Amino acid sequence: MQIIRYTIILLATIILAWLLPSFYHLLSDTSGRNVFTYYSSVDEAFCSIKFDEKEDRLIRYNVKTKKEYSEAEFDSILPMFYYRQLLSDGRFPDSINERAISVKEINSRNFFYRYNAKDKNTPAIPIYTLFESFSGRVKLEMPGDVFRLKNKIEFINPETNRVDKVKSERFMRVFVQSEFQFPAKGVFGNPSTRKPYDEGYMIIDNEDQIFHLKMVNGKPFLKNTLFPKSINPAFISVQEPADKSFYAFVFDDSNKVYLITADNYKVVQIQTPEFEVNKDRLMIMANPLYWNINVISSRGKECYALSADTKEVVDSLSLLAPAEYDFTLSNILPFELRFTTGSSDYIKPSVRFATWWVLLTNLLLIVTFVFIGKRRNKQVQPFELIWIGICGIFGFIPCLIFKE
Amino acid sequence: MEKALLYKEWKKTHVFTLTIGVIGIILMVYIMLKLGRSFRMAGMEHLWDVIVNRKQFLFRNLKYFPIATALCLGMAQYFPEVIQKRIKLSLHLPLPEKKVILLMYSYGVGILTIVYLLQLIALLVFSGINFPYEFTINALLTIAPWYIAGFITYLFVAAICLEPVWMRRILITLLAIALIYLFFLSDVPAAYQSVNYLLVVALVMVFPFGFYSVQRFKEGKQ
């Protein structure tokens, strides 16, 4: 029966290691710094907005010169971001720093891209919708079938739940004739009708080659993008930008980001601040002159401004808060068990350990446990002492309350 | 003797058992009728799109059924034993006490398995007819934690009811609530797919808790 008691203690320890730190976080957590920042094409510096609690107002300012602006001035400093307001006020400029600019150009080259680690770390059903990319219609329409792609490609009609053999064979022939190596490792697309056009899917084959699959006039289009062999793609985010200048962002297994351009699938590396594909968020706010690359992590935000043409870094900004020292998490709670994270939809246990100083706390708990045992005239077992020594407060509580 | 003991469990819980079975079947029929209506109203293509791209789970009405049935069956089976101290009689039968408890467990777990299997078969047939196997695998991975939680709930109810000390009962109840909550942390379909084996480990760990309660009962803990 002792073994069952140990099992109860073990289970209670696991539950406490999960719940106690969770409650502690509920009481103590504060939000990370994620203020608005944008690279000014007029000032050629990062600008930001902060809230002044003393004066109870928003302060708009140039981060480099610390110069403050009124709301109207700020619109003019960031014409690529506030161009609708400038247009409405009749203040939209003809040129910025001697470069001619038009609203049409801004409309076609401005885009926002958001990547959250959850986009990658999420359970998905491997069934995909391939739209007709040359339908001649303004609005995309559902194609009437879906496909699966692992060891072969098969189209399934949802109304009958049967494989469309003719279409499947037509597409399979193209795969066989190409250098595509089955099984497919990953299929990435943007299966939404709320987009201007469809660029189909980027598919990683068994040799980490990236292929582009589309349906044009009902016929298959499959092309090897000749992605560099030195890069191991881990995740692809297919995009359909208004100016049709690129196809997708590719994230590799060493946390680098690449762009597959529409210029014959030329690959360009996008410089980013330190970025972890499986943890952090990436936001790209692009305009015809500069791309704002923002990496948002638990520590705060880091920004790069890239030249839109050359993709070279022209400026950077770090808004990282110094790592906070938490006495309880470092010295009282020996570890922290988590099953959920903001960067994944999967339920998975993960453990974060405290500092070695926690062993001192554990030792104090052992002494307390022995003292309580003696007062209650109860025998202290070696298992209990070892368990409290390892698990600290999480072991101490169950050993105490489940004592015979 | 074993048959008589099982018959005693049946006599004690047959109303609950039949009710659970009927509710389980009605729930499945309701889900199928509701989905059939969605097929007609929205069309299968839209529904497939909603399942794949918006991560909607069609069988979410099943979510709390396993733990609710386990709770009812467990209470029906063990609560009278404790209130009327009938467990004393059972433990004085000419059978090892472990065997007595094991037979009681077998009855409850057996009934739950039958009800759960009925639902599982209905789901497999329905999903197999209307959806590709990828959807069915996803559905199984999604419901697995709910059904494992059902078995764990039953085992905890047994352990809590058979436990003789009130304070210990409360503590084990708290442990049970926290552990079962762990099975319902996410609404994302198949979110538990990589840890379903750990949930089975938890089930194995909880299995003997009832034997420990009985041992304490026999030792006369107050």
Total domains in chain B come to 1
Kindly compute the dihedral angle of the four CA atoms of residues B19, B23, B24, B30, in this order, to the nearest 10 degrees: 160
Nearest to B175 among A4, A12, A348 (CB): A12
Nearest to B186 among A129, A156, A347 (CB): A347
Interface of A with B in 106-135 (CB under 8 A): 122-129
Residue B123 burial (CB count, 10 A)? 20
B82 touches chain A (CB under 8 A): no
Residue B5 burial (CB count, 10 A)? 18
**Six-digit token string for A299:** 């520590």
Q: How many Å is the maximal CA-CA distance in chain A? A: 88
Asked if residues B86 and B207 have their Cβ atoms less than 8 Å apart, the reply is no
Question: What is the structure's pLDDT at A32?
Answer: 61
Whole-complex ipTM: 0.91
Q: What is the mean pLDDT of residues B111-125?
A: 96
Question: What is the structure's pLDDT at A331?
Answer: 86
3-state secondary structure of A380: coil
CB contact under 8 A, B134 and A144: no
- Residue A90 falls in which region: left (phi positive, over 0), alpha (psi -120 to 50) or beta: left
A345 touches chain B (CB under 8 A): yes
Question: What is the structure's pLDDT at A308?
Answer: 94
Chain B residues close to A12, C-beta within 8 Å = 175
Asked if residues B182 and B144 have their Cβ atoms less than 8 Å apart, the reply is no
Question: What is the structure's pLDDT at A46?
Answer: 96
Above 90 in pLDDT, residue B217? no
Question: If DSSP states are collapsed to H, E and C, what string results for chain B?
Answer: CHHHHHHHHHHHHHHHHHHHHHHHHHHHHHHHHHHHHHHHHHCHHHHHHHHHHCCCCCCHHHCCHHHHHHHHHHHHHHHHHHHCCCHHHHHCCCCCHHHHHHHHHHHHHHHHHHHHHHHHHHHHHHHHHHCCHHHHHHHHHHHHHHHHHHHHHHHHHHHHHHCCCHHHHHHHHHHHHHHHHHHHCCCCCCCCCCCHHHHHHHHHHHCCHHHHHHHHHHCCCC
3-state secondary structure of A247: strand
What pTM does this model have?
0.91
Its domain, for residue B209, covers: 2-218
A192 touches chain B (CB under 8 A): yes
B203 touches chain A (CB under 8 A): no
In chain B, which residue's Cα lies nearest the Cα of A20? B178
Helix (H) or strand (E) holding A172: helix A165-177
**Six-digit token string for A160:** 């009958």
Q: A336 forms bridges with which residues in the sheet?
A: A352
Chain A residues close to B189, C-beta within 8 Å = 123, 125
Tens digit of pLDDT for each residue in B35-50? 999 999 999 999 999 9
Confidence at B189, pLDDT banded by 50, 70, 90: very high
**Tokens 């103590």 — which residue?**
A28
**Six-digit token string for B52:** 């794949």
Cα-flanking dihedrals φ and ψ of residue A352, to 5°?
Answer: -120, 125
Asked if the peptide bond before residue A228 counts as cis, ω within 30 degrees of 0, the response is no
B125 touches chain A (CB under 8 A): no
Question: In this prediction, what percent of chain B has a pLDDT beyond 70?
Answer: 100
**Six-digit token string for A295:** 């990496």
Nearest to B212 among A5, A126, A345 (CB): A5
Spatial neighbors of A84 by CB under 8 A, at least 6 apart, are: none
Q: A281 forms bridges with which residues in the sheet?
A: A116, A296
**Tokens 């359970």 — which residue?**
A123
* Pairing assessment for the beta strands A290-297 and A281-286 based on DSSP bridges: antiparallel
Asked if residues A249 and A258 have their Cβ atoms less than 8 Å apart, the reply is yes
Nearest to B134 among A148, A158, A348 (CB): A148
**Six-digit token string for B131:** 């959806």
Question: What is the structure's pLDDT at B220?
Answer: 78
In chain B, which residue's Cα lies nearest the Cα of A155? B132
Q: A148 forms bridges with which residues in the sheet?
A: A154
Spatial neighbors of A148 by CB under 8 A, at least 6 apart, are: A126, A127, A128, A154, A156, B132, B134
Spatial neighbors of A236 by CB under 8 A, at least 6 apart, are: A186, A188, A202, A204, A210, A248, A249, A250, A251
B176 touches chain A (CB under 8 A): no
Question: What is the structure's pLDDT at B35?
Answer: 93
Question: What is the structure's pLDDT at B143?
Answer: 97
3-state secondary structure of A244: coil
Give the gap in angstroms from C-alpha A345 to the nearest C-alpha of chain B. 6
CA distance A290 to A152: 42
The per-residue pLDDT string of chain A (404 residues; one tens digit each, 9 = 90 and over) reads: 789 999 999 999 999 999 999 999 898 877 666 789 999 999 999 999 988 888 888 999 999 999 999 999 999 999 999 999 999 999 999 999 888 999 999 999 999 999 999 999 999 999 999 999 877 777 888 999 999 999 999 999 999 999 999 999 999 999 999 999 999 999 999 999 888 899 999 999 999 999 999 999 989 999 999 999 999 999 999 999 999 999 999 999 999 999 999 999 999 999 999 999 999 999 999 999 999 999 999 888 999 999 999 999 999 999 988 877 788 888 899 999 999 999 999 999 999 998 899 999 999 999 999 999 999 888 889 999 999 999 999 999 999 999 87
